Structure 1
Amino acid sequence: MADDDRTPEEEFQELIQQLFGSGAQLDPEQLSRLSAMGIDPAMMQTVMRNLQGAFAAGGDGIDWEAAKRQALHIANQDGLGVTAGQRTELDQAFALSALWLSEATTISQLSAPPSAITRGAWVEATLPVWQELAEPVATSIADALTATLSEQAPEDMQGLVQGAGRLMRTVGGSLFATQLGQVVGNLAKEVVSGGDVGIPLMPDGTAAILPQNFADFGRDLEIPEDQLALYIATRELAHARLFRHARWLRLHVISQVTDYARGVQIDTDALEEMASRFDPSEPEELRKALESGVLLPARSEAQTAALTRLENLLATIEGWVDVVTEDATSRLPSAGRVAEAVRRRRAVGGPAERALGSLVGLELRPRRMREAAAMWRAVTDAVGTAGRDALWDYPDLMPTAEDIDDPASLVARLEARARGEEPERDELDDALARILAGESPESGQAPAGGETDGGEPDADGPPDDHRPV
């Protein structure tokens, strides 16, 4: 096709590709073409500087590699690694903590040795999970930005705007990737250990402490460093052991966060208002809007319910870790003071809340952690560590929100089970019993002929204890 045969849309797309190609610069002819289209060449040059890196990747949407580069740039700014002395001290703390934990829980030790890691290594290890958590909202923002900017364009420009749809989607994706990189990079400068955030970011069975951040955390506590290291190492090992033992738990937590994130709908009114005055040469305003969460509207009823479930789940996990850590560190004179410092840090909104609030609009406050810890303490006192830890063997055994509210009922059930008494039956038990007996779960009647699916009479009744596990 000759140049003169190109449509305006094709001409615009070609110009955009040239402008945002690797190392592209505006030549006099392109300046003239931009002016003829009513586009300020100076503004476009600024846009090029801000976004050229994103287009060089050639992707459509979120440039996760850009997020990684940004996070590592922030995390590694000080250029400090882990010294041999730090590694030795933490290795010793982990070794003693492992022995103490073996007395406080029946959940077995990790197969891989714990380690002292740099901030950059923490970014490398956790970024895949952050990407999984953030992707639903990132996609929503990129789609909403594309649609909203298209709606803002005049009617005679719709063809051009639609031709540049991929461009606008990449703008939104690039800005979100930058935001994710900043959040994770800054978080790497705060987290003390792998389990510090509460959600399972590290690979299964991995325990780690960040020596630089550990030093910052204990600087104003006036607690001997060796005692602080023992407490933090114990807590980190307890958290890692739990997720390694209950292998279903990691997916359970992450799926609840992503389910919440998928329900996020961008506030189109706020985005339209911003788009009406959006200057592409100054993407800082959109970046700040993403960080502040102004584009994320109030939670729906479904999201509020999802948030409540997630808070109860995380409280149940953290409550168990609190109790086990308290028992394992009972020899430490300063254990109580360290525990209170950890609780205060959570209560004012720790690094996890800020990160999740910025990325997916998810606010997590440990409202239920003290109640969950009280429940686990009551269970431990009633049935011992083995009976307590067995509740993590299967998902359906784990305590519920109602158990946090009323630990006495949970304790009564566990004590009855320990005595060999059959648990109180409910409607689910009765329905399952009828199914196992070959009856209709609704009618309670056996199928015609009184036969099971296999064609033989069902001579055996349901087992005494048929609760699924």
Structure 2
Amino acid sequence: MSGPVAWETARRVGGLVAEGGVFGGGRALDERAWDRLREDFGWATEEAEALVVAETGLVPAEGPSRGEVLDRRAWVAQNLATFERLLTPVLERWPQRQLPGPLGAVQPELAGAELGLVLGWMARRVLGQYDLLVAERPGADPVSYVGPNVAGLEARFGFPPRRFRLWIALHEVTHRCQFTGVPWLRSYFLDLVEQALAEARPDPAKLLEALGRAAQAVRRGENPLAEAGVVGLVASKAQRDLLRRIQALMALLEGHGDVTMNRAAAERLPEAGWFAQVLEERRQRGNPLSRLLLQLTGLGAKLAQYRKGERFIEEVERAGGRELLARVWEGPALLPSWEEIEDPSAWVARVGGA
């Protein structure tokens, strides 16, 4: 065993959890259903790009968007490959054993199992994903859709498949148009990721400080995981500042994605409001284990942040129209800070007269 994480264990556990295990199984798709998913998402991805470009003016610079349909195991494997590529240089700086006694010998297996558990659980919830970190070269950046999750929701709620699939594609293709249609955004985001990884250091003293802050928050009646899950709890001040920059960017991009999706779907998809309501209720009704994982991973906080991003978009446009909002794409200096995401008028005051 080499390294702090047993990646093969993570893949094995992630695949088992994704396909069943503690979260229950699901109806298997036959080959005909897979063929229909591939055909529909091929069409939906192409159609979504045309609608998003018309709505935003952001034209992908690396060729047309391409959709791919994955099963849950493949989604876990794809994301684990990204994690391994990004985290291996960081983990090489960490001590090989941090736990005392016999636990130190199995620590890589424990870490792999924990990572697999989280990704396997996420694989049961994700509908679509555009992740430029998956791509190792320009143009190799497909928009991914998790077929069983999409088909399961359609069957459960009676969604019309082609319309629901186009609705999902609109949001994910918007992200590809953002990252490949704004010349500087891709490199800026990757630089933030590299900075975050460079700041990662194992420090037991900081963990104790974080536990102290968490205890104080609980005594004040606050949720110490509400801001960014466990990552926000153990981060140093410098790391929290960097995390805020990343959160502000992601809130902007997700808010812009939601607004674009809703506008592009307005005439084509009269069911869009129904789709959105059902998915929001699905998030709210999660079982206790799912709600805990949402908090631990910070995904619960992200959902609230994205709603703030949508409000930021709406308030900026209310103040200065789409012309003012378009200034966020001019360069990193015009991106909103987290404080400006929470108070859009501050961004309007800073940028509106510039």
TM-score clears 0.5: yes
Change (3 A) 1:383 1:91: farther
Give the direction of change, closer, same or farther, for the CA distance of 1:314–1:297 in structure 2 (3 Å limit): closer
Matched, 1:388 2:325: yes
CA distance in structure 2 between the aligned counterparts of 1:225 and 1:301, rounded to whole angstroms? 46
> What's the counterpart of residue 96 of structure 1?
47
- Tell me how far 1:398 sits from its aligned partner: 1.4
Does structure 1 residue 239 correspond to structure 2 residue 171? no
Any idea what the Cα deviations from partners look like across 1:171-199, whole Å, max 9, x if unmatched? Answer: 1012211222232233223211114xxx7
Corresponding letter in the other structure for 1:92: W
Give the whole-Å Cα distance in 1 for the aligned partners of 2:123 and 2:69.
14
Q: 2:335 & 2:128 partners in 1: Cα distance?
A: 25
Of 76, 81, 89, 1:128 maps to: 81
Residues 219 and 209 of structure 1: CA distance in aligned 2, closer, same or farther (over 3 Å): same
1:244 positional shift: 2.8
Number of the residue aligned with 1:173: 108
Instruction: Please list the CA deviations of residues 218-241 of structure 1 after superposition, one character each: whole Å capped at 9, or x if unmatched.
Output: 444454333322211101111222
CA separation of 1:249/1:226 partners in 2, compared to 1, >3 Å: closer, same or farther? farther
For the 8 Å contact 2:247–2:338, the answer to whether it is kept is: no
For 2:352 and 2:128, the matched residues in 1 are separated by: 36
> Where do residues 147-162 of structure 1 align in structure 2 (5 Å cutoff)?
148-149=100-101
- Mapping of residues 240-319 of structure 1, within 5 Å: 240-245=176-181, 246-252=185-191, 254-255=193-194, 258=197, 262=201, 265=204, 299=234, 302=237, 305-319=241-255
User: In 2, distance between residues paired with 1:140 and 1:224?
Assistant: 50
Do the aligned partners of 2:232 and 2:240 also contact (CA within 8 Å) in 1? Answer: no
1:244 & 1:115 partners in 2: Cα distance?
A: 18
Structure 1 contact 75–188 (Cα < 8 Å) conserved: yes
1:188 aligns with 2:132: no
Cα–Cα, structure 1 residues 401 and 187, in superposed 2: closer, same or farther, change >3 Å?
closer
1:144 equivalent to 2:122? Answer no
Q: Deviations for 1:52-81, whole angstroms, at most 9, x for unmatched residues?
A: xxx5xxx25432233224334554678756
Could you tell me which residue of structure 2 aligns to residue 83 of structure 1?
34
Q: Equivalent of 1:209, from 112, 120, 145?
A: 145
Where does structure 2 lack aligned partners over 5 or more consecutive residues? Answer: 21-25, 209-229
Moved more, 92-101 or 297-306: 297-306
For residues 203 and 285 of structure 2, the distance between their equivalents in structure 1, rounded to whole angstroms, comes to: 25
Who is 2:220 aligned against? none
Cα 1:372/1:329, change in 2 over 3 Å: same
Task: Give the equivalent residue in structure 2 for 1:63.
Answer: 6
Q: For 2:334, which of 391, 394, 397 is the aligned residue? A: 397
Amino acid at match of 1:123: V
Aligned to 1:368: 305
Q: Number of residue pairs matched? A: 311
Matched, 1:325 2:261: yes
Q: How far did residue 383 of structure 1 move? A: 5.3
Contact 2:254 2:306 in 1 (8 A): yes
Q: Which whole-Å CA distance do the structure 1 matches of 2:114 and 2:187 have between them?
A: 30
1:125–1:142 Cα change, 3 Å: same
1:60–1:170: 8 Å Cα contact kept in structure 2? no
What's the TM-score, normalizing by structure 2? 0.70
Pair 306,363 (structure 1): closer, same or farther in 2 beyond 3 Å: farther
User: How high is the TM-score relative to the length of structure 1?
Assistant: 0.55
Partner-residue secondary structure (3-state), 1:320: helix
SS at match of 2:128: coil
Residue type matched to 2:97 in 1? D
Report the alpha carbon displacement of residue 384 of structure 1 after superposing the two structures with TM: 5.2
Q: Quick one: higher RCO (CA 8 Å, sep 6+), 1 or 2?
A: 2
DSSP 3-state at the match of 1:242: helix
State the alpha-carbon separation in 1 of the partners of residues 250 and 232 from structure 2.
Answer: 24
In structure 1, the partner of 2:211 is none
Q: CA separation of 1:341/1:315 partners in 2, compared to 1, >3 Å: closer, same or farther?
A: farther
The percentage of counterpart residues that share the same residue type is: 24
2:276 corresponding residue in structure 1: 339
Residues 191/261 of structure 1: CA separation in 2 closer, same or farther (3 Å cut): farther
Gap regions ≥5 residues in structure 1: 1-54, 150-166, 269-294, 417-422, 424-469
The verdict on how the C-alpha distance between 1:177 and 1:188 changes in structure 2, with shifts beyond 3 A counting, is same
**CA shift in 2, pair 1:354/1:218, >3 Å:** farther
Aligned-residue offset at 1:321: 0.9
Work out the CA distance in 2 between the residues paired with 1:318 and 1:121: 24
Structure whose CA Rg is larger = 1
1:181 and 1:395 map into 2 onto residues whose CA distance is 35
CA distance in structure 1 between the aligned counterparts of 2:103 and 2:77, rounded to whole angstroms: 29
* CA distance 1:408–1:298, change in 2 (3 Å): closer
